[in-house]
Amino acid sequence: MSFLTNMPSTTSVFSAYTSFAASSMVARTMISETHSIISQIIPQTLRDQISSKFNAIFGSISSQMLLIIEENNGIAINELYRASETYLSTKISPSLNHLKASKAPGETNVTFKINKGDVLIDVFEGIQIAWELISTEKQSTYFDFEISTQTSETIEKRHYQISFNKKHTDLVMKIYLPFILNRAKVIEEENRVVKLYALMGGYGNGDSIVLQNSCSFGNLAMDEKKKRELMEDLDRFVRRREFYRRIGKAWKRGYLLYGPPGTGKSSLVAAMADYLKFNIYDLELSSVHSNSALRTMLLSTADRSIIVIEDIDCSAELKDRTNGGRDGGDSQLTLSGVLNVIDGLWSSCGDARIIVFTTNHKERLDPALLRPGRMDMHVHMTYLTPYGFEILASNYLQINHHQRFKEIQDLIMEVDVTPAEIAGELMKSDDADMALEFVVEFVNGKKRKKMEKECNSDVIENVGCHDPQDNEDQEDLKEREI
C-alpha cells in the first residue's frame, strides 16, 4: 500500500520521461542502459502513449540519416562539395540565423554562403533536407629545405552534413544529389566568369578573384597567323574528349610561351582563358616545398582550367632529373616531380586541363621539359610587328588609319620594340596625333641607341684587329726602308 501511495503521478512521469528522451538525442547510449529500469517502473501501456506523443513532437531519432560531403576526396577535390556550395548559394532559408554575402568585382550577382554551425532547410519534392557546414582546423608541419627548419601552417577542413528521414534515402541519393550536380553546372554557366586562383605554399587555395577586362584574342597584339593557329588548336583540344579517351591519353594540352619580357605572354594566357572560359590557376613554383605538395596542388584544381607556371627557367632551382628523384624523393621539389605532374600518371587526374609554361629564355630549359606530350605547342612571342601595332592603335586610340602609321611600321621593322613599350607610349595622351608622336620619338630614340651601339662595336672590333706589336713591326720596317 505504501508503494502505491509513493508512486509518482502520470504527469511527473511524463515530464521526466520527455526530459530523458530529449537528452538521449545527445547521448543515445543512455536509452539502452536505462531501458530495463524504465520498464520496471512505467507500465507498458503508459510507455506506448508517451512514446507516441514524443515521436509526434520530435520524430524518431533512429529514423534520421546523416550524409557527409567532404571538401576533398582524399587528396583530390570532391566535385559534389563544390556543386553543393554553388547550389546552396542560391538558397535563402528562414531557418538560417546568419548568412555570408559577397560580390566580387566583375561578378553580376551577390553570392550567399551559410556560416559554419548554421542549419539550412532545403525542400525537395516535398521532403525536408537539413544542411550544416562543419569546419575544423589543424596544424600541418613540414621541413623547409631553404631555411633548414620545420614550418607549420594552419589548414582548414570543411564538410557539409545533411540529414533527412531514412525512408527518403533512395530519393536523396539517386535523384536529389544528381539534381544538385546538374543544377550547379547550369548556375555556373549562367554566371560564368574567368577567375584567377593562387596556388601557393603547397596547398590549393579556394579564394579567387574575377579577371576584369580580361584580354581577348581580338585585342591581342600578336601575329595574325600565329593567333589563328593557336585558336584552332584550342578549339580542336576542347572538342576531342572522346578522342583522348579512345587513345588512352589524359585530356590535357601543354603550351610553352617564350620570348623577351613585355611581348605579351601573360596577356596571351588571359586571352586563352577568356576564349575557353577556363579558370586560371597561378602556380608559384618557388613556394612549393616538395613533390608531394605539388601533386596536392594539382589535384586541388578543377576541370576546364589553365595551370600557369610563369618564368619556369628561374622560378625554382630544380635538381637534375637524373638524380633529383634519388636525392630528395617526395621530401623536396625536383625536376622529376615536375615532369610527373605534367606527363606522368598524376596528370591524368582531371579533364580538359591546360598547362602553360612561360619563359624569357627557352635555351635555359632542360630538354626534358620541351619534348612533345609535355609541351605540345611552342609559341614564340616576338617583338611588335606592323600588324600588332595596328591592334594596339585600335585598342588605345580607337583609330584604324593615320598618316603616321606607315612611318611607325617602317621604324618597328628596323628596331626591336615590345608591345608593352608601345602601349606605354600610347597611354601618354588621348589625342591620337600627340600619342603617335610619342611613339615616333620613342622608337627613333631606340634606333639611335642601336646605331650608337653598333658603331661602338665596330670601332672596338677594328681596334682589336691591330695588335700593338704589329704597329712596332711597321715602325721597324719603315726605319729599315729609310
Angle at 244 between CA 372 and CA 302, to 5 degrees: 90
Identity at 239, one-letter amino acid code: R
Which of 133, 221, 234 is closest to 422 using CA atoms?
Answer: 221
Q: Which pLDDT belongs to residue 262?
A: 92
Output the nine-digit C-alpha cell for 69: 560531403
pTM score of the predicted model = 0.65
Where in 57-179 does DSSP place strands (E)? Answer: 64-70, 72-73, 76-77, 99-102, 111-114, 119-124, 127-144, 149-165
Q: Which pLDDT belongs to residue 148?
A: 64
Quick check: 158 and 71 in contact, CB under 8 A? yes
What number of other Cβ atoms are within 10 A of residue 284's Cβ? 16
Polymer length of the chain: 482
- Which CA distances in Å does 337 have to 288, 329, 402, 451? 11, 8, 53, 47
Distance CA 224, CA 349 (A): 34
Q: Which pLDDT belongs to residue 144?
A: 59
Q: Which pLDDT belongs to residue 36?
A: 47
Output the nine-digit C-alpha cell for 139: 596544424
Which of 70, 85, 99 is closest to 184 using CA atoms?
Answer: 85
- Which CA distances in Å does 40 have to 34, 53, 135, 411, 442? 10, 21, 44, 104, 100
Q: Which pLDDT belongs to residue 337?
A: 80
Sign of CA dihedral 7, 9, 10, 14: negative
Quick check: 181 and 69 in contact, CB under 8 A? no
Q: Which pLDDT belongs to residue 143?
A: 61
Residue ranges in the chain whose pLDDT is less than 70: 1-62, 74-75, 93-96, 103-110, 140, 142-148, 200-207, 212-214, 314-331, 344-349, 457-482
Residue 189: phi, psi to the nearest 5?
-70, -35
Which of 251, 257, 254, 307 is closest to 279 using CA atoms?
Answer: 307
Distance CA 283, CA 202 (A): 9
Distance CA 114, CA 98 (A): 7
